[in-house]
């Protein structure tokens, strides 16, 4: 099925998403910079834009910048004075992302904080308020990032956690893979959390079989 998933994503890109020179340049710079090919797909990036626009997001927090592709998709859905605060461990990834975001004309909307995200959570002010959180960094830390985001989410905001299905390994209760365990932990945390209503969308496409958790913060 893998090649069919690619063909359908190709068609969706042509029929629905259209041309995206900034996005293409960002992905090309990632490849040229030797960054891993683990950004969201174009269709998934558009989903992030659609969701950000749907909640009229002004402020976004992101965990896992890579070369800035998802950051770009989020930033361009914000008003010009909106902001994405994004955490990235790798100095090299952050430099590639900074150049990409500046070239796309959204650099003024993005603050990249470089280092272990857990060590940088204190840089979020207590009175910071976010409309959308996108969690896509080291998967074992999913629950920590979820909790950090939830203390600063406005009612009606969205928390999105990427790569939670992991080719179906999510269903394996005995998995020894820390990334699967991190996904199961955050799903079970969210499932018990009365502050949110959530679901998981299973996805196929050019990035294989995976899925996103999407939670809306209740009033
Ligand atoms: C899946 S990639 C992010 C992809 C990006 N969101 C996109 O779709 O374009 C994960 C990123 O998280 C970063 N990362 C890994 N562990 C981290 C940590 N502990 N703190 C902050 N960033 C981390 C990696 O260096 C990598 O760039």
Q: pLDDT (tens digit, 9 = 90+) per residue, 99-153?
A: 999 999 999 999 999 999 999 999 998 889 999 999 999 999 999 999 999 999 9
Q: Residue 126: what pLDDT?
A: 83
202 half-sphere exposure, CB direction, 13 A CA radius:
8
Cross-strand partners of 133: 61, 159
Q: Quick one: tokens of 41?
A: 């797909």
Residues present in the chain in total: 219
* CA pair distance 94, 91, nearest whole angstrom: 5
Q: Residue 165: what pLDDT?
A: 98
- Of ligand 1's listed atoms, the one at least distance from the Cα of 38 is 1
* CA pair distance 24, 10, nearest whole angstrom: 14
Which residue puts its alpha carbon closest to atom 23 of ligand 1?
89
Q: List, edge to edge, every strand of the sheet that includes 83-88.
A: 110-114, 83-88, 59-63, 130-135, 153-161, 210-217, 196-203
Helix (H, G, I), strand (E, B) or coil at 92: helix
Alpha carbon of 42 to ligand 1 centroid (Å): 17
Query: CA distances (Å), 90 to each of 93, 97, 161, in order?
Result: 5, 11, 20
Q: Which of 25, 68, 88, 106 to mutate to test the pocket of ligand 1 (most atoms within 8 A of CB)?
A: 88
Cross-strand partners of 83: 59
Burial zone of 81 (CB within 10 Å; 0-12 exposed, 13-18 middle, 19+ buried) = exposed
Average pLDDT value over all residues in the chain: 97
Alpha carbon of 171 to ligand 1 centroid (Å): 24
Angle, helices 178-191/142-150, rounded to nearest 10 degrees: 30
Question: What confidence tens digit (pLDDT) does each residue in 143-199 have?
Answer: 999 999 999 999 999 999 999 999 999 999 999 999 999 999 999 999 999 999 999
Ligand 1 pocket, Cβ-based, cut-off 6 angstroms: 38-40, 64-66, 69-70, 87-90, 93, 116-117, 136-138, 141
Measured in degrees and rounded to the nearest 5, phi and psi for residue 21 equal -60, -40
Alpha carbon of 139 to ligand 1 centroid (Å): 9
Q: What is the pTM of this model?
A: 0.98
Alpha carbon of 70 to ligand 1 centroid (Å): 11
CA-based diameter of the chain, in Å?
A: 47
- Of ligand 1's listed atoms, the one at least distance from the Cα of 30 is 9
Is residue 167 within 8 Å of residue 179, measured between CB atoms?
Answer: no
**Radius of gyration in angstroms for the set of CA atoms belonging to the chain, rounded to a whole number:** 16
- Of ligand 1's listed atoms, the one at least distance from the Cα of 66 is 27
Residue owning tokens 């990032």 = 145
- Of ligand 1's listed atoms, the one at least distance from the Cα of 45 is 8
Q: For domain 2-115+132-217, give the fold.
A: Rossmann fold (3.40.50)
Q: Residue 124: what pLDDT?
A: 93
């Amino acid at each position: 099925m893998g090649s069919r998933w690619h063909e359908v994503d190709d068609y969706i890109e042509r029929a629905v998403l259209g041309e995206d020179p900034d996005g293409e340049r960002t992905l090309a710079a990632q490849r040229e910079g030797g960054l891993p090919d683990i950004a969201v797909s174009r269709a998934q990036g558009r989903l992030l834009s659609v969701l950000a626009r749907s909640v009229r997001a002004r402020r976004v927090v992101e965990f896992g910048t890579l070369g800035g592709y998802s950051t770009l998709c989020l930033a361009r859905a914000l008003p010009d004075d909106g902001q994405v605060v994004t955490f990235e461990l790798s100095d090299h990834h952050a430099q590639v992302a900074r150049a990409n975001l500046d070239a796309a004309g959204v650099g003024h909307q993005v603050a990249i904080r470089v280092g272990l995200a857990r060590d940088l959570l204190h840089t979020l002010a207590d009175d910071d308020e976010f409309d959308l959180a996108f969690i896509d960094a080291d998967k074992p830390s999913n629950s920590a990032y979820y909790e950090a985001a939830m203390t600063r989410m406005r009612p009606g905001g969205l928390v999105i956690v990427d790569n939670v299905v992991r080719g179906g390994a999510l269903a394996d209760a005995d998995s020894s893979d820390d990334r699967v365990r991190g996904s199961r932990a955050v799903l079970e945390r969210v499932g018990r959390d009365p502050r949110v209503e959530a679901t998981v969308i299973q996805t196929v496409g050019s990035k294989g079989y995976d899925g996103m958790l999407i939670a809306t913060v209740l009033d």
